[in-house]
Structure 1
Amino acid sequence: VKNVDLWKRLDSVCSEHTVTWKWVKGHSGHKYNEIVDDLARDAAGSSNLLDDVGYQP
C-alpha cells in the first residue's frame, strides 16, 4: 500500500467518527477530468514542484 502513514492517520480519524464510504466511478471518459488528471500526473512526476505551504502533518 502506498502512503501507509496517511492510511493509518485516516483510519485513526475515521474511528472517531461515523464514516460511510461510497465507491465513485473514476472520471474515465470525462474530457476535463481527463485533462486535469494528466496535468496532475505530469506535475507529480516533476522535480520542479512548489512547496505546499498549507500542508499541516
Structure 2
Amino acid sequence: MTPDKHFIIDVHPRHPQVSIAAGFSGHGFKFSSVVGEILFDLAMTKNASSDIALFSASRFRPQ
C-alpha cells in the first residue's frame, strides 16, 4: 500500500513501454476491471481514457 493509500497507475519514466499498476490493498480487487482497461489503453495508445493524474508515481518524488 502506498503512503497516501491511493494506487499507482502510471508508465515507467524511463521506459514508456512499461505500464505500472501497484499499491493495491485488500480493496484493490474491486477496481480490477477499470484498472485493466486503463492499463490496456496505456499499453496500446500511450494515453489513458480516464484521468489518472491522482495515481501518478511522480507524486512521491521530492518536489
- TM-score bracket, shorter-length normalisation: 0.3 to 0.5
Which protein is bigger by CA-based radius of gyration? 1
TM-score (norm 2): 0.30
**Greater share of helix:** 1
TM-score by length of 1: 0.32
More strand by share: 2
